[in-house]
């Protein structure tokens, strides 16, 4: 007892160990029988195997469609003895250990139960077998398994009986008898039966060949003759057969004999077939035999006599053949001139060597049957004389009004009296004389003749001669080797009449010089002449006696060319225009003098080319190549001009605007460029500033200064722009000005914040995860705002498309972030500063935490790296412009006093993951007290000259009430120098670009502001603006680059007056390298010149006023 308890405890411990160590196996549910489909009334057993322990260790339950069907019990097998349709469902078993109550569940099994009782189906193999063979029958129940089958047979004379039991499957059986068969399926215990199958009638057809023979075997017989038909079954000679005969598809009689003997009549003709059945099996029969055809002639039998030739050559022979349609059993007799010549010839072929009249008939000796006489065949003997048809004149093609004679010539005829026979293709009554005149259209055709002497002697037929009589009068055909007569040259003319000969030709020339037709080269037989004059030419042909003339040929025009070559001129000279524009093409003939010209145009697309000197082009269908020439009088014309191509576009052009630079430092100049694509000429350009229209969700456009009448140049320079702005351009041309569409809005972005409109980001960093909650906040002098975005995929949209706008804040939707630039637009038309936002899409990626706004020079800044769910990271590597800057255990990169050198790209790296790089801008702090030192360092050796200029300007400013403001004027080249800043580049290449600091960018411009404060009297209000004084100092650069010093001086102790503009004074310094000769033809600088300028800006004793330079 203790041993048994110990073993139980040990077994439980082992089972518990398996469960705890994870080595248990999943439970398995199976069904018995394992059928895919069950039917109502059958039974099924569920078997649940836990795959561990013994069956007594578990309790089991059955789930049906996830709900308890059989509660927990100790039986691992459960039987549903009577299935219903409601049991159709998905089943699963679960086991629970009796000791620990641990449980697990098995796989799921779908129990398919069908309410309809299945029906068995009988399928038969081929029922065409040879005698002694068998037919295969199969029984099946669809979509289920486990069946055994019972078979039943009956005939039309016997009742149904079971001839195969269910002690084995019996799915496929073989039978050698025909009959009506059925089957049914049986399976399970107790037995479940399917419905009986439908009846299958099995008619066995024996494949043995059946042949009908006849005696006598004549293909055609006559009424009154007797014939015997026999039905022969190959391979079935020992079987007793009962045969059926069919004539013309109808059953004749059913007799026990295989032979049918009868006397034929005219109604006996037709096809005969037979079919036989076994006497002991009415469901087994042969196939119908092939039909044998019996032909009983209804007409009188008449022989046919043919000859291989009706002409018997001298010394030769002719073969005659006497035949019947059905020649069986016949011999033949031949008769000449009604007398028998040969008799009883079985083949019916006779050779003769005499001319005469021949007939024949057939004879069947067995029945003494004689046919009627055949047709008559005449055999004529030929003579050797040769016969020829001759034509006089020898024209095979003549025309109505002409006549020729056809003659039959017999050589060596001597004095023999011949009669003539003609063979023609079209004459109903061929001529019978030696000669025949041909002149009518109906006389056309082939002619052949022969001569006859006595009754059976004649010549051979002559060769055929074809003659055509045309009903229409022919027209001469005139051709020229060229229709253009070169100066001093000639043209060859050829006159001909198609398909006929013996013509002589008359030539005519009509022209403005000769008022009437003139006869040239009359009766020239050659048909070819050369002419050296322009004019209208024609010809005609003539032949015969009296002369028969053709119709005159069509006129051929010969034109003389002049050496002049016109030119196609466009006014305006635009080869590409647009629907709504009009240009004029003009044909210009130089050295034309007072000649009266008419004009011809050659175009590629116009159906009716213009005929005037000028043609207006305005429609799309007018597009194409244009060429022209001039015509003077009737036969003189110029050469064709060169081709000019003109395109009229159906689409209105839309210019492409580019802004350079796309990111701006305050005070820098901006260049707008407007391009028409494809390029075309004559445009004036109009420049607009985009103003946000929040009410209508669009932009309105304000013309920029100096753009009212348009500009000739496709570029426009904006000075002093400090904040974000949008620009648009369009172009126009023509007297009645035609305008293009407006370009798309292009933006100039600035990171500088100004009071009227500003944008802040929360959290205050450039990079964000897609799961971060980010808000964009607008502030300034407006109550209405919208937030805009321009993505790296070049898509412009407002906050409502990717976030939720609430008042002046835009909360970005989760997972809708896109990297790009963002800014605010106010209801009063202001643009805020622009910020970059970079999105980290990878879940396990890292981001760099860096300020979104520019950092002021001298301020401190901290950069860090973080993951999506980890704010701070240690052991981070920081990079500045792709160079490793810090790599130690610190979490942050701290810069205590930011300088200009710290500006650039930053990124971080942690655990093999690298963030995207972000640009950190540094805003410079003005240091007026030290601003003169860079100037002194730059000007160097010319400091003395600057001091002289400084004293001179002090005097001038004193004289103009103590204030002189020197404004520096930017040349085109300096204004186009780009200010690099991160963001989206929106020129025509549409590239998303990072801040660019081009190492090759020109550094010719140096700026310094000299601000003077004077001690003395206070200035009176409303004093006039002082004039500007310029001082120019030359240096030795190749382009004579001027250096300008802007000097702003004030009286010390006096408050600076607001809104008071001072006129700038410029000092231009020209410095040259020693040892180099000054270049000749140096350009004198002007504010609009393209030479690079160097500006010196010096502030003395006062803070730098940035507004002074604007």
Tens-digit pLDDT profile for residues 124-177: 888 777 777 888 999 998 878 888 898 998 887 788 888 876 556 788 888 888
Does 594 score more than 50 pLDDT? Answer: yes
> Is residue 397 exposed (0-12), middle (13-18) or buried (19+ Cβ within 10 Å)?
middle
Residue 855 · residue 923 · CB < 8 Å? yes
Residue 837 near residue 868, CB atoms below 8 Å:
no
**Confidence tier at 1092 by pLDDT (50, 70, 90):** very low
- H/E stretch holding 974 reads helix 972-975
| Paired tokens of 467 | 């003659």
CA atoms of 164 and 283, how far apart (whole Å) = 20
What is the predicted pLDDT for the residue at 701?
Answer: 94
Reduce the DSSP state of residue 622 to 3 states and report it.
helix
The residue whose two tokens read 């390029």 is 679
What pLDDT does residue 5 have? 55
Res 1090: pLDDT: 34
Instruction: Report pLDDT digits (tens) over 1032-1082.
Output: 333 333 333 333 333 344 443 333 334 433 334 343 334 434 333 333 333
Higher-scoring residue by pLDDT: 836, 520: 836
Which residues are CB-neighbours of 238 under 8 A, at least 6 positions away?
none
Distances (CA, A) of 413 to 12, 380, 763: 142, 19, 133
Closest CA to 121 of 35, 36, 195, 39: 195
| The pair of three-digit structure tokens given for residue 721, joined into one six-digit string | 């722009």
Sign of torsion over alpha carbons 715, 717, 722, 723: negative
What is the distance between the alpha carbons of residues 994 and 829, in angstroms, rounded to a whole number?
28
The pLDDT-based confidence of 695 (bands split at 50, 70, 90) is confident
Q: What is the DSSP string of 573-594?
A: --SEEEBTB-EEEEEE-TT-TT
Predicted pLDDT at 412: 77
Under the banding of pLDDT at 50, 70 and 90, the label for residue 63 is very high
Instruction: State the pLDDT at residue 512.
Output: 38
Q: pLDDT tens for residues 11-50? A: 555 554 444 444 457 899 999 999 989 999 899 999 999 9
Spatial distance between the Cα atoms of 755 and 722, rounded to a whole number of angstroms: 13
Give 782-807 as a DSSP string. Answer: -S-EEEEEEETTS-EEEHHHHEEEET
Report the pLDDT averaged over residues 482-496: 86
Better-scored residue on pLDDT, 941 or 144: 144
Q: What is the pLDDT of residue 415?
A: 65
User: Could you read off the pLDDT of 41-54 as tens digits, one per residue?
Assistant: 899 999 999 998 88
Q: Which residue has the higher pLDDT, 96 or 296?
A: 96
Rounded CA separation 25/52 (Å): 7
Confidence of residue 196 (pLDDT cuts 50, 70, 90): very high
Can you give the pLDDT at residue 13? 53
Q: What is the pLDDT of residues 529-575, one digit of tens each?
A: 988 888 889 899 988 888 889 999 999 988 888 878 899 999 998 98
Coil, strand, or helix at residue 951? helix
Q: What is the CA radius of gyration of the chain?
A: 60
Length of the chain: 1110
CA triple 440-444-450, angle to 5 deg = 110
What was the pLDDT predicted at 870? 80
- Chain segment 798-808, per-residue pLDDT in tens: 998 889 999 99
Distance separating alpha carbons of residues 622 and 552, to the nearest angstrom: 42
306-310, 480-484, 1043-1047, 1103-1107: lowest mean pLDDT where?
Answer: 1103-1107
Q: What pLDDT is attached to residue 1048?
A: 41
Residue 202 Cα distances to 279, 283, 779, 1065, angstroms = 17, 7, 98, 124
Could you tell me the CA-to-CA distances from 620 to 578, 611, 617, 649, 683 in Å, in that order?
8, 20, 9, 6, 20
H helical segments located in 844-967: 932-939, 943-959
Which of 398, 408, 390, 497 minimizes the C-alpha distance to 438? 398
Cα atoms in the 13 Å half-sphere on the side-chain side of 271: 9
Query: Looking at the DSSP assignment, which residues form a beta bridge with residue 630?
Result: 599
Mean pLDDT along residues 718-744: 92
Residue where the block lists tokens 């001091």? 947
Is residue 438 predicted with pLDDT exceeding 70? yes
DSSP per position, 46-76: EEEE-SSS-GGGEEEEEEETTEEEEEEES-S
Q: Are 360 and 374 in contact (CB under 8 A)?
A: yes
Q: What is the mean pLDDT of the chain?
A: 78
| Cα-to-chain-centroid distance, residue 513 | 63
Residue 856 has pLDDT above 70, yes or no: yes
- 119 closest CA partner among 193, 196, 205, 49: 196
* pLDDT-wise least confident of 378-392, 500-514, 632-646, 1036-1050: 1036-1050
Of 256-270, 292-306, 928-942, 1002-1016, the poorest mean pLDDT is in 1002-1016
Instruction: Tell me: pLDDT of 967 over 60.
Output: no
Distance between CA atoms of 747 and 729, rounded to whole angstroms?
Answer: 12
Q: Are 505 and 477 in contact (CB under 8 A)?
A: no
What is the per-residue pLDDT for 493? 92
Task: Round to whole Å and give the CA distance between 297 and 372.
Answer: 14
**Is the pLDDT score of 445 beyond 50?**
yes
Mention every residue, 6+ apart, whose C-beta is less than 8 A from residue 214.
227, 228, 229, 230, 292, 294
Across 392-401, 618-627, 654-663, 931-940, least confident range: 931-940
Higher pLDDT, 500 or 671: 671
Region 1024-1033 average pLDDT: 37
Average pLDDT on 468-495 reads: 89
As a whole number of angstroms, the distance between CA 638 and CA 640 comes to: 7
Helix or strand run (H / E) with residue 108: strand 103-111
- pLDDT of residue 2 exceeding 50, the answer is no
Encode 13-44 in three state secondary structure.
HHHHHHHHHCCCCCEEEEEECCCCCEECCCCE
pLDDT higher than threshold 80 for residue 784: yes
| CB within 8 Å of 221: residues ≥ 6 apart | 227, 264, 294, 295, 296, 297
Question: What is the reported pLDDT for 975?
Answer: 35
Peptide bond into 572 cis (omega under 30): yes
Helix or strand holding residue 975 (H, E): helix 972-975
Backbone angles phi, psi at 628, to 5 degrees: -140, 165
* Cβ neighbours around 493 below 10 Å, total: 23
* Most confident region among 68-77, 920-929, 1066-1075 by mean pLDDT: 68-77
pLDDT in tens, 205-249: 888 889 999 887 777 777 766 788 888 888 877 777 888 889 988
Whole-model pTM: value is 0.44
pLDDT at 8 over 60: no
- Residue 1044: its pLDDT value, please? 39
The pLDDT-based confidence of 1014 (bands split at 50, 70, 90) is very low
- The pLDDT of 519-529, averaged and rounded, is 64
How many other C-beta atoms lie within 10 A of the C-beta of residue 966? 29
Residue in this structure with the two tokens 């008939």, named with its chain if needed: 361
Q: CA–CA separation, 1066 vs 964, rounded Å?
A: 11
Span 322-362, pLDDT tens digits: 988 878 778 899 998 888 877 777 788 998 888 888 999 88
Torsion of CA 450, 454, 455, 461, to 10 degrees: -10
Average confidence (pLDDT) over 864-879: 88
Of 335 and 1083, the structure prediction assigns the larger pLDDT to 335
Annotate 663-687 with DSSP letters as a single string: EE-TT--EEEEEE-SS--SS-EEEE
């Amino acid at each position: 007892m203790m041993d048994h308890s110990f073993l139980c405890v040990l077994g439980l411990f082992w089972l518990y160990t398996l469960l705890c160590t994870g080595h248990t196996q999943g439970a398995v549910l199976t069904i018995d029988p394992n059928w895919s489909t069950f039917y109502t009334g059958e039974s099924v057993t569920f078997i649940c195997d836990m795959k561990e322990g013994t069956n007594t260790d578990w309790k089991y339950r059955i789930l049906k469609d996830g709900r308890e069907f059989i509660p927990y019990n100790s039986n691992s097998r459960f039987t549903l003895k009577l299935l219903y349709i409601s049991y159709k469902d998905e089943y699963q078993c679960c086991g629970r250990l009796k000791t620990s109550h641990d449980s697990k569940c098995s796989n799921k099994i779908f129990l398919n139960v069908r309410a309809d009782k299945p029906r068995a189906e009988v399928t038969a193999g081929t029922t065409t077998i040879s005698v002694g063979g068998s037919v295969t029958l199969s029984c099946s129940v669809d979509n289920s398994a486990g069946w055994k089958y019972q078979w039943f047979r009956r005939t039309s004379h016997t009742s149904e009986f079971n001839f195969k039991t269910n002690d084995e499957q019996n799915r496929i059986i073989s039978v050698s008898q025909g009959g009506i068969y059925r089957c049914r399926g049986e399976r399970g215990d107790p037995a479940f039966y399917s419905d009986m199958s439908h009846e299958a009638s099995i008619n066995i057809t024996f494949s043995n060949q059946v042949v009908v023979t006849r005696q006598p075997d004549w293909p055609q017989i006559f009424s009154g003759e007797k014939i015997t038909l026999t039905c022969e079954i190959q391979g079935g000679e020992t079987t007793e057969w009962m045969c059926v005969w069919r004539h013309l598809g109808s059953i004749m009689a059913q007799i026990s004999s295989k032979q049918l003997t009868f006397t034929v009549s005219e109604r006996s003709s037709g096809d005969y077939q037979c079919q036989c059945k076994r006497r002991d099996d009415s469901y087994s029969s042969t196939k119908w035999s092939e039909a044998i055809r019996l032909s009983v002639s209804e007409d009188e039998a008449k022989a046919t006599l043919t000859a291989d030739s009706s002409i018997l050559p001298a010394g030769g022979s002719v073969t005659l053949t006497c035949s019947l349609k059905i020649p069986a059993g016949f011999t033949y007799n031949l008769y000449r001139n009604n007398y028998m010549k040969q008799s009883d010839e079985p083949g019916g072929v006779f050779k003769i060597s005499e001319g005469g009249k021949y007939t024949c008939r057939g004879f069947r000796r067995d029945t003494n049957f004689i046919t009627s006489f055949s047709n008559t065949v005449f055999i004529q003997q030929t003579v050797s004389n040769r016969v020829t048809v001759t034509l006089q004149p020898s024209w095979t093609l003549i025309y109505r009004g002409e006549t020729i004679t056809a003659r039959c010539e017999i050589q060596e005829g001597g004095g023999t009296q011949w009669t003539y026979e003609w063979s023609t293709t079209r004459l109903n009554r061929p001529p019978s004389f030696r000669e025949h005149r041909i002149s009518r259209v109906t006389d056309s055709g082939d002619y052949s003749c022969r001569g006859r002497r006595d009754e059976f002697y004649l010549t051979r037929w002559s060769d055929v001669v074809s003659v055509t009589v045309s009903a229409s009068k022919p027209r001469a055909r005139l051709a020229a080797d060229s229709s253009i007569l070169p100066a001093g040259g000639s043209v060859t003319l050829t006159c001909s009449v198609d398909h006929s000969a013996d013509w002589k030709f008359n030539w005519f020339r009509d022209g403005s010089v000769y008022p009437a037709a003139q006869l040239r080269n009359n009766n020239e037989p050659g048909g070819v002449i050369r002419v050296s004059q322009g004019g209208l030419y024609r010809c005609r042909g003539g032949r015969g006696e009296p002369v028969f003339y053709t119709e005159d040929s069509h006129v051929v025009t010969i034109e003389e060319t002049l050496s002049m070559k016109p030119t196609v001129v466009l006014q305006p000279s635009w080869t590409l225009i647009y629907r709504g524009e009009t240009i004029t093409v003009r044909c210009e003939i130089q050295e034309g003098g007072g000649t009266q010209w008419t004009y011809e145009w050659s175009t590629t697309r116009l159906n009716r080319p213009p005929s005037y000197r000028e043609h207006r082009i305005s429609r799309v269908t007018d597009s194409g190549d244009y060429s022209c020439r001039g015509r003077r009088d009737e036969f003189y014309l110029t050469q064709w001009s060169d081709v000019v191509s003109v395109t009229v576009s159906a689409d209105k052009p839309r210019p492409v605007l580019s802004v350079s630079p796309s990111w701006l430092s305050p005070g820098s100049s901006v260049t707008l460029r407007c391009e028409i694509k494809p390029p075309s000429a004559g445009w004036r350009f109009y420049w607009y500033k985009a103003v946000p229209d929040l009410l209508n969700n669009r932009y309105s456009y304000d013309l920029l200064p100096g753009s009212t009448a348009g500009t000739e140049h496709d570029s426009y320079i904006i000075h002093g722009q400090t904040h974000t702005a949008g620009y648009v351009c369009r172009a126009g041309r023509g007297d009645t000005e035609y305008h293009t569409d407006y370009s798309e809005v292009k933006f100039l972005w600035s990171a500088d914040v100004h009071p009227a409109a500003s944008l802040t980001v929360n959290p205050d960093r450039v990079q964000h995860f897609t799961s971060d909650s980010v808000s964009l906040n607008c502030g300034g002098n407006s109550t209405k705002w919208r937030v805009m975005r321009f993505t790296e995929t070049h898509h412009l949209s407002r906050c409502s498309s990717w976030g939720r706008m609430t008042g002046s804040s835009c909360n970005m939707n989760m997972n809708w972030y896109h990297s790009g630039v963002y800014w605010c637009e106010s209801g009063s038309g202001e643009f805020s500063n622009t910020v970059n936002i970079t999105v980290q899409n990878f879940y396990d990626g890292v981001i760099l935490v860096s300020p979104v706004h520019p950092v002021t020079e001298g301020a401190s800044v901290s950069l860090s790296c973080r993951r999506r769910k980890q704010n701070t990271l240690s052991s981070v590597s920081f990079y500045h412009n792709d160079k490793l800057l810090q790599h130690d255990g610190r979490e942050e990169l701290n810069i205590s006093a930011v300088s200009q050198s710290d500006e650039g790209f930053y990124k971080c790296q942690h655990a093999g993951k690298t963030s995207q790089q972000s640009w950190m801008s540094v805003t410079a702090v003005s240091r007026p007290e030290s601003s003169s030192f860079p100037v002194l360092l730059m000007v160097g050796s010319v400091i003395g000259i600057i001091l002289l200029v400084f004293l001179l300007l002090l005097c001038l400013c004193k004289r103009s009430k103590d204030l002189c403001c020197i404004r520096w004027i930017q040349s085109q080249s300096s204004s186009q120098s780009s200010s690099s800043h991160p963001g989206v580049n929106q020129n025509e290449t549409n590239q998303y670009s990072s801040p660019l600091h081009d190492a090759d960018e020109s550094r010719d411009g140096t700026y310094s502001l000299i601000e003077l404060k004077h001690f003395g009297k206070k200035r009176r209000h409303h004093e006039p603006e002082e004039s500007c004084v310029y001082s120019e100092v030359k240096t030795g650069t190749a382009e004579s680059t001027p250096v300008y010093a802007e000097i702003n001086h004030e009286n010390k102790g006096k408050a600076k007056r607001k809104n008071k503009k001072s006129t700038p004074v410029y000092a231009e310094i020209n410095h040259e390298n020693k040892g180099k000769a000054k270049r000749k033809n140096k350009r004198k600088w002007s504010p609009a010149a393209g030479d690079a300028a160097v500006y010196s800006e010096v502030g003395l004793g006062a803070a730098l006023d940035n507004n002074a330079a604007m």
